């Protein structure tokens, strides 16, 4: 359940995304939003780590 304006509540479905799907969502998201910017930074760091192997 999520909270809506004026005290209402609504049921929403959860989705389990693969790592690649999360990457695609993060890369195409609005980087002005903190959660998207953090995800983009996370994937950039992980990519750099894999490049060094």
What's the pTM? Answer: 0.69
Q: Please, which pLDDT band fits residue 17 given cuts at 50, 70 and 90?
A: very high
Give me the residue spans of the domains in the chain: 15-51
User: pLDDT grade, residue 5 (50/70/90)?
Assistant: confident
d(CA 27, CA 1): 28
Gap between the Cα atoms of 47 and 2, Å rounded: 34
Is pLDDT of 26 > 80?
Answer: yes
Give the count of beta carbons closer than 10 Å to the beta carbon of residue 23: 17
């Amino acid at each position: 359940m999520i909270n809506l304006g004026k005290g209402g509540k609504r049921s929403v479905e959860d989705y389990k995304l693969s790592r690649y799907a999360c990457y695609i969502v993060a890369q195409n998201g609005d980087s002005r939003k903190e959660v998207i910017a953090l995800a983009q930074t996370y994937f950039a760091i992980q990519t750099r780590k894999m490049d060094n192997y």
